[in-house]
């Protein structure tokens, strides 16, 4: 009896958290799966079962374009965060003057709410009244305002803003992870004749891999599901140029009044993220 009580103790400790998480995540998840197979809208609620009809988006050419745009958004966004974030983290790991101040400054983008960041960038990048074009024109770098939010550059612009917003998370994670690398390792590598790049590639990266993998999973999942900042800046336009999965989900639910199709796309996105996360974690387990 005492053994059963002892064995069940860990489960009893985590039970409140499990109940809480079930309520917070489980109920919407069940709702989402249920809605994905039904004709349902936000105000009328459930109307009838429709089987796989809501998944017809998978063969819609427009959805394939949305998926492609989402992949571009995720790949370049996450890669940009890693390149920029790693560079800044390495720089801030050096004993440079004002290092602590710089460390505080790099966190600021992360602290700014997405909605506020989106509004500020929209204002700054406006062709006619924005600060960025005013500076570019004044300095003679351009003779005409650059249409950062026009069709050609809109995706690059939102990816840039994503990198600006997301990099601080990676920077802080890496700065913490750098502290776990013993100084002796760098000294030993130097003695063995390793250059800076060799040291980075063959010593630092393998030691940082667990952090890089977990950060990569988190950043990828976040980037796929980001809605507010893109919506505020471009609303998925112009001409669908920045319509990623999350915008598509919103439009289906609130513009097309089709919560079922919206749930189906959400389910697709969730499965995609789970598969991606599984593959990345498997890759980490292999290394370990």
Partner 1 sequence: MMTTMLACGGAGKKEEPAAPANPAKQDAQTADTSQEADQKDASSDEQITLTFMRMGSPEQATPIFEPIIKQYEEEHPNIKIDFSVIGWAEALTKSKLLFSSGQFPDVGFMSQIGYEFAEQGLLLDLTPYFEKDKEFAENFTPSVLESVKYKDKIYWSPCAVGAFSLWYNADIFKQAGLDPEKPPKTLDELLDYAETIKQKTGIPGLAVGAKAESDLTHVFMSVYASNAGESLWNSSEQRLTFEDHKDAAIKSIAYMREMVERDIHQPNPIEIDFYGGRPLFRDHQVGMILDGVWALKEFRSQLEDGTETLRTASFPSGDAGCSSLMGIGGWAIPSSCEHPDEAWEFIKYLQNTENQSSHGDQWGLLPILKSQKELPQYQEYYWEPLINQTETSHGIIAHPETTFIETTIAQQISDAMMGKQTPEETFDNIVKTVNDKIN
Contacts by residues 61-64 (CB-CB < 8 Å, ≥ 24 positions apart): 62/240, 63/248, 63/265
Which of 63, 120, 127, 203: binder of partner 1 (CB under 8 A)?
127
Does 109 engage in binding with partner 1 (CB under 8 A)? no
Which of 71, 136, 232, 276: binder of partner 1 (CB under 8 A)?
232
Distances from the Cα of 250 to the Cαs of 50, 79, 97, 161, 254, in angstroms? 21, 26, 46, 21, 6
Contact indicator for 164, 157 with CB cutoff of 8 Å: no
Looking at beta carbons only, is 255 or 287 nearer to partner 1? Answer: 255
Kindly state the smallest distance separating residue 191's Cβ from partner 1, in Å: 52
Could you count the other beta carbons within 10 Å of the beta carbon of residue 247? 22
Tokens (6 digits) for 74: 């995720």
**What span, in angstroms and rounded, lies between the C-alpha atoms of 80 and 159?**
8
83: nearest Cα among 182, 238, 216, 178:
216
Kindly state the smallest distance separating residue 213's Cβ from partner 1, in Å: 25
Kindly state the smallest distance separating residue 170's Cβ from partner 1, in Å: 23
Does 27 engage in binding with partner 1 (CB under 8 A)? yes
Looking at beta carbons only, is 32 or 175 nearer to partner 1? Answer: 32
Does 144 engage in binding with partner 1 (CB under 8 A)? yes
Looking at beta carbons only, is 28 or 182 nearer to partner 1? Answer: 28
Does 150 engage in binding with partner 1 (CB under 8 A)? yes
Footprint of partner 1 on 5-24 (CB under 8 A): 24
**What span, in angstroms and rounded, lies between the C-alpha atoms of 171 and 158?**
20
Footprint of partner 1 on 245-284 (CB under 8 A): 246, 249-250, 253-257, 259, 262-263, 266, 269
Does 151 engage in binding with partner 1 (CB under 8 A)? yes
Kindly state the smallest distance separating residue 238's Cβ from partner 1, in Å: 5
Tokens (6 digits) for 171: 């920077």
Kindly state the smallest distance separating residue 8's Cβ from partner 1, in Å: 31
Please, what sign has the CA dihedral across residues 265, 269, 270, 272? positive
Looking at beta carbons only, is 89 or 149 nearer to partner 1? Answer: 149
Q: Which residues contact 192 (CB under 8 A, 6 or more apart)?
A: none
Does 111 engage in binding with partner 1 (CB under 8 A)? no
Does 237 engage in binding with partner 1 (CB under 8 A)? yes
Looking at beta carbons only, is 150 or 210 nearer to partner 1? Answer: 150
Q: Which residues contact 74 (CB under 8 A, 6 or more apart)?
A: 220, 223, 224
Could you count the other beta carbons within 10 Å of the beta carbon of residue 73? 22
Could you count the other beta carbons within 10 Å of the beta carbon of residue 133? 20
Looking at beta carbons only, is 27 or 185 nearer to partner 1? Answer: 27
Looking at beta carbons only, is 62 or 192 nearer to partner 1? Answer: 62
Distances from the Cα of 90 to the Cαs of 175, 178, 225, in angstroms? 8, 9, 28
Interface with partner 1 (CB under 8 A): 24-25, 27-29, 31-32, 35, 40-46, 126-129, 144-145, 147, 149-151, 225, 227-228, 232, 235, 237-239, 246, 249-250, 253-257, 259, 262-263, 266, 269
């Amino acid at each position: 009896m005492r053994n059963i009580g002892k064995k069940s103790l860990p489960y009893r400790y985590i039970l409140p958290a499990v109940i809480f998480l079930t309520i917070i995540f489980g109920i919407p998840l069940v709702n989402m799966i249920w809605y994905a197979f039904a004709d349902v809208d936000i105000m009328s609620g459930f109307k009838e079962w429709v089987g796989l009809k809501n998944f017809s988006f998978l063969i819609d050419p427009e959805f394939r374009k949305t998926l492609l745009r989402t992949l571009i958004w995720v790949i370049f966004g996450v890669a940009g965060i890693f390149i920029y974030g790693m560079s800044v983290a390495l720089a801030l790991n050096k004993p440079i003057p004002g290092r602590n101040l710089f460390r505080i400054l790099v966190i600021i983008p992360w602290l700014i709410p997405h909605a506020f960041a989106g509004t500020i960038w929209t204002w700054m990048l406006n062709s006619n009244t924005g600060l960025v074009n005013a500076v570019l024109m004044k300095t003679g770098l351009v003779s005409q305002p650059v249409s950062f939010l026009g069709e050609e550059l809109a995706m690059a612009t939102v990816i840039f803003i994503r990198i600006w917003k997301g990099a601080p998370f990676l920077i802080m994670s890496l700065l913490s992870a750098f502290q776990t690398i013993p100084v002796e390792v760098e000294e030993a590598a130097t003695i063995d004749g390793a250059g800076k790049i060799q040291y980075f590639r063959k010593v630092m990266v393998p030691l940082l891999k667990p952090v890089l993998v977990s950060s990569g999973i988190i950043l990828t999942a976040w980037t796929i599901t980001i809605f507010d900042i893109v919506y505020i800046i471009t609303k998925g336009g112009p001409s669908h140029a920045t319509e990623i999965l999350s915008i598509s989900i919103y439009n289906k639910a609130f513009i097309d009044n089709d919560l079922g199709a919206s749930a189906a796309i959400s389910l697709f996105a969730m499965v995609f993220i789970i598969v991606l996360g599984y593959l990345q974690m498997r890759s980490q387990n292999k290394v370990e």
